Amino acid sequence: MIWLSSRWKIAIMSAPALIVFTALIVYPVIYSAGYSLTDFAGFGDPAFVGLKNYIDLGNDPFFWSSLRNTIIILVVSLVILVPGSFGLALLLRRRFPGGGALRALVFAPTIIAPILVGLIWVFILDPKIGLLDRLFGALGLPQPEWIGGNILTPYSVALVFIWGSVGFAMTIFYAGLQQLPADILEASSLDGASGWKQLIYITVPLMKESFAIAAVLLITNVFKIFELVFVLTNGGPVHRSETLVSYMYFITFNNQQYGSGMALAVIITVLGAVVSLGYLLLLRGRKSA
């Protein structure tokens, strides 16, 4: 199509997206990285302070507790979500009446605005008005502080995250199961492999790719958790339940310590990029395999 590809036609087609992308995504990343090296507090000229903001974060106990909470959420969600949603995909792959409708319903929580997901779960986890402690009370069990206490909050956030992601992860596994070569499964069941054996020795190894993709997408999503914490506890009490992103939001927009907030934003971005890079390497491995 060389005759449609004059230089100015290419420019007209590409320029709008490239300009908007550069101005709204690339420039801000550079800008944030630059500001993370200053003491900017919203007024006056930012003064260059080198790596001070990063060093201060290293000495900030709330940074470490928000990192710890993020890691707790990450580990708990992965350990429960990956096998759980894979099992659910296996279950929903079987034929029974209404199966298609069930798959659609299971996905539903994924499309609800995260801010609304948080609000819904306040009415389940809140120690005063929540469903869960009411049930525990009725059964004569202790009524722990699911949110707002000192210990359980990150686990509760993980639970809410799992609820919001289970349909998403299930759909990835379901798509993977649909692409399994039917002849291998058939051959293995003719050879007498049945049930668990087939699952462990045939299906799971063939699904390696889906497992990796689901895991990586879930990890990147955990690094983005913000609204859930914002609504459930707003990071409290005294920042004990912050995640990296919610703490960054607090430093930047509540405390207006823009320099230090941007330093944390850079750290979050680098963590996310490391994971994404792992993802890309993984895909490359897949192509050469």
Beta-bridged to residue 48, according to DSSP, are: 38
User: 114 to 153, contacts with other proteins by CB under 8 A?
Assistant: 114-116, 119-124, 128-129, 131, 134
What residue type is 186 in one-letter code?
A: E
To the nearest whole angstrom, how small is the minimum distance from the Cβ of residue 251 to other proteins? 10
Interface size with other proteins, residues (CB under 8 A): 93
- Does 105 interact with other proteins (rule: CB under 8 A)? yes
SS3 257: coil
- Does 255 interact with other proteins (rule: CB under 8 A)? no
Site track 265-284 with other proteins (rule: CB under 8 A), x = hit? xx-xx--xx--x------x-
Nearest to 160 by CA among 120, 106, 131: 120
- Does 73 interact with other proteins (rule: CB under 8 A)? no
- Asked if residue 263 lies in contact with residue 36, where contact means CB atoms within 8 angstroms, the answer is yes
- Does 86 interact with other proteins (rule: CB under 8 A)? no
Rounded distance, CA 27 to CA 152, Å?
39
CA distances from 184 to 94, 172, 194 (A): 18, 21, 13
User: 4 to 43, contacts with other proteins by CB under 8 A?
Assistant: 4-5, 7, 9-10, 12-14, 16-18, 20-21, 23-29, 31-32, 35
To the nearest whole angstrom, how small is the minimum distance from the Cβ of residue 20 to other proteins? 5
- Does 248 interact with other proteins (rule: CB under 8 A)? yes
- Does 163 interact with other proteins (rule: CB under 8 A)? yes
- Does 99 interact with other proteins (rule: CB under 8 A)? yes
- Does 228 interact with other proteins (rule: CB under 8 A)? no
Question: Measured in Å, how far apart are the chain's first and last C-alpha atoms?
Answer: 34
Show Cβ contacts of residue 148 under 8 Å, excluding neighbours closer than 6 positions: 126, 127, 233, 236, 237, 241
How would DSSP label each residue in 136-173? HHHTT-----SSSSSSSHHHHHHHHHHHHHHHHHHHHH
Stretch that binds other proteins, among 47-55, 63-71, 145-153, 219-227 (CB under 8 A): 219-227
